[in-house]
Amino acid sequence: MLTAINRGCLCFVFCFIVSGAQGAVLCEAEIVKKLADNQSFKRLITHKAESVRVGKGGALHRNQKKLSDVASQRELLWLARYGVLTAQQKYIDQAVEAANWGFARQTKEGNFRNGLNLTPTQAMNADLFFLHAVVNLKELIGCSRWRERYESNMVQWQEPYSRALGWVEIHYQDLYQHDRRTSNRMLFNVVALQLGAEWVVRPGAAELAQIWLREVLSQQTKEGVFLEKGGWDSSYQAVSCLNLMWLMMATQEAQLTSPIARGMKWLSSRVSADGEISVVGNTRTGRRQEIFFAKVKRVNYFEVALAFFYWGELSGEKQYIETAETIIEFLVQHG
């Protein structure tokens, strides 16, 4: 049974981590604006935003024809980033509408409907992907020029978000069993639960997030690898690092610098001089190990590049931005 704790107890999770840089941590909107003149970054955000297929009422991608799962709505973050980057409100509007579309598929119990014939507990992972996107959208807008414009939307999201966390608090063991061997998924859950719990005041969800965060960090290897099914994966390593960056940006917990720095240093070793990302030894991507919606999972170059761009700004180490630029150039050359 989860016990109530207050927000101040967040510190105990980080007690064994080497303290990072001092001072305020940049928020995501600030990073996007700082990188606005970087042509490679602009190319990345523009390409991803333009690839988001927006349907009636805010349905994204595989939800356009009929309901598939709310996880597909998480692409809304690329629209929001593009809106912040270009100062175009219509893209923020699209992201907010996409979030509203997802909440309209919520049940009274707190979980979300799906069209994949999955039971509510089987679909929990998809639900958490959506919640993760919503709370990051809230953070992104809240640190931008658009905050007051969308304040009412964020207030309206609090009750359904709280209801969703309440459902997770009851069924968390199913989510844990599904995700426990994949660090990136555990960290998606941590971000959704921790930031959401602070937003809507759910101490039980916050405690659960802290327990899972501590587990993931304790399992990081001395080389910096966040484990994916018992080994490394150059694509999902970037996702794990990004999730820790989002957590650090929102909570201002600079102590997360050490695990992120070690993770990004290892990831750097997987990028060749021309920007190609090695898949040698990967456990999940690039070697036909997993199929997702009838497609073989490949390294997500865009997310890897985003991780390098963000860490370059957060750490102040510009070689990471140079690596990101190299990755984007590789994509331009090789498609």
C-alpha distances (whole Å) from 303 to each of 28, 87, 157, 210, 259 are: 15, 22, 27, 25, 18
pLDDT on residue 24:
83
pTM (global) more than 0.85: yes
Q: Fill in the amino acid letter for 60.
A: L
What is the per-residue pLDDT across 60-79, written as a single tens digit (0 to 9) for each? Answer: 999 999 999 999 999 999 99
Chain centroid offset of residue 273 CA: 27
**CA–CA gap between residue 184 and residue 55 (Å, rounded):** 29
What is the per-residue pLDDT across 183-222, written as a single tens digit (0 to 9) for each? Answer: 999 999 999 999 999 999 999 999 999 999 999 999 999 9
pLDDT on residue 66:
95
Cβ-contact 251, 194 below 8 angstroms: yes
Q: Fill in the amino acid letter for 48.
A: K
What is the per-residue pLDDT across 29-48, written as a single tens digit (0 to 9) for each? Answer: 999 999 999 999 999 999 99
What is the per-residue pLDDT across 245-291, written as a single tens digit (0 to 9) for each? Answer: 999 999 998 889 999 999 999 999 999 999 999 999 999 886 566 55
Residue carrying the six token digits 């799906």: 114
Q: What angle do CA 120, 124, 126 make, to 5 degrees?
A: 115
Give the contacts of 98 (CB within 8 A, at least 6 positions apart). Answer: 54, 58, 59, 60, 73, 75, 76, 79
